[in-house]
Amino acid sequence: MASKGDIQATRFTAATSNAIIAPGVRMRGIIVSNTDATNAGVVELKTTSVTGTTLFVADIPAGDVINFSFPEDGILFPKGVFVSTFTTVAAVTLLTDKYSGPNLT
């Protein structure tokens, strides 16, 4: 993944009604793990809110890990990143442009 600036990793393990990343941000890559040996998993990311516009959906095969880097400028989430679907997934790590938030310098 060729990046034009600093990258930040944000990990989450469940869906929430709050933004995973509140400011607008560009997603450069994603790592998703599914530890369920029999069922496929799904992660759906939206902007604005959990009912907002869907910008990314990942289907994760049973017992697998996906690691995907987006080409060029990635996917812009102009109003933050929200998770509307989080099924049969152990964890997700979003690789984004660095943003300013709590506990960051």
Average confidence score pLDDT of the chain: 89
Contact 26, 75 (CB under 8 A): yes
Domains in the chain, CATH or no CATH each: 11-97 (2.60.290)
Contact 74, 98 (CB under 8 A): no
Which residue do the tokens 């049973």 mark? 62
pLDDT tens sequence across 25-41: 999 999 999 989 999 99
More confident residue, 105 or 96: 96
Instruction: Write down how long the chain is.
Output: 105
* Prediction pTM value: 0.86
Which pLDDT score, from 0 to 100, does residue 105 have? 41
Q: How many CB atoms are closer than 10 A to CB 92?
A: 24
Element (H, E) at 92: strand 91-97
pLDDT tens sequence across 70-90: 988 899 999 999 999 999 999
